Amino acid sequence: MNKFKNWFEMYPPVAAEMGEWDRIDKENKIKYPIRYFLNEVLIPNTWWPVSRFTSDVMSKIRYGWYEKLYLIDTNLSHDYHEVDERLLHGMFSLLVDFVEIEKAWMEVIFNNGYKRPWWILNRFRSRILGMRYLDWEITLMDTSDKPQAESAQIIKDLYIWWVDVRPNRLDPYDLMVKWDDISEDEKSHTSKQITVIEQKYYDEDTEMLNKLVGIRNSLWT
């Protein structure tokens, strides 16, 4: 197959200067007129446009209609939510997808040698594979890829905070035990405690959201 490809493409050199390519092109047009016509005229003007059109259609079907990558799923309940809450949950929902889908897929491709069949449209989700790839990236800390390792560490920390730590924070309203049975002073003290905890949580959310924005240029594969 490689021999045929090399023959069909008129024995192209591995590398050449721009001016050299022009000379080779002119020579091939004279030496191999049929192959030149097929390679430089027929295929570029017939097959390539069809291939690009097909690729565009498949992309729109997969990413536009099926996976709908233009939308952000906040995973919030179907109720009213303020913009700041939707913003927080939307951004971290993207982070979760990035780790469990994008990074998991990177782990499969580069470390497991697996290629997804072309007919499978949806992307699989795996926390284990995603974290495994991040852990591999973090091992690059002492190499020239240190920025990649540092970003991977932040991504991992943010992911763990959002998925494991934040959902298990104490609900400040759990302090309102037997609310009707306590004195007004105790109610006032409890209300202040709740306010302090809520503010602490809000500040923590903001800090983590800022960290996420700070490494957004690393959120690609």
Question: Identity (one letter) of the amino acid at 161?
Answer: W
- Please tell me the predicted confidence (pLDDT) of residue 116: 59
- Please tell me the predicted confidence (pLDDT) of residue 207: 98
- The rounded distance, in Å, linking the Cα atoms of 62 and 50 is 18
Per-residue pLDDT tens over the stretch 78-87: 999 999 999 9
Angle between helices 83-97 and 184-214 (to 10 degrees): 50
**pLDDT band of 49, cuts 50, 70, 90:** confident
Cα–Cα separations (whole angstroms), residue 137 to 67, 111, 155, 161: 27, 12, 11, 19
Per-residue pLDDT tens over the stretch 167-194: 999 998 887 776 677 787 887 888 899 9
**Beta carbons within 8 Å of 159's beta carbon, 6+ residues apart:** 95, 96, 99, 131, 134
- Please tell me the predicted confidence (pLDDT) of residue 46: 81
Per-residue pLDDT tens over the stretch 91-137: 999 999 999 999 998 998 887 655 555 555 556 789 999 999 999 99
10 φψ region: left (φ > 0), alpha (ψ -120 to 50), beta (else): left
Question: Identity (one letter) of the amino acid at 148?
Answer: Q
Question: Is residue 146 predicted with pLDDT exceeding 60?
Answer: yes
- Please tell me the predicted confidence (pLDDT) of residue 112: 64
Q: What is the rounded end-to-end Cα distance, in angstroms, of the chain? A: 32
Global pTM exceeds 0.75? no
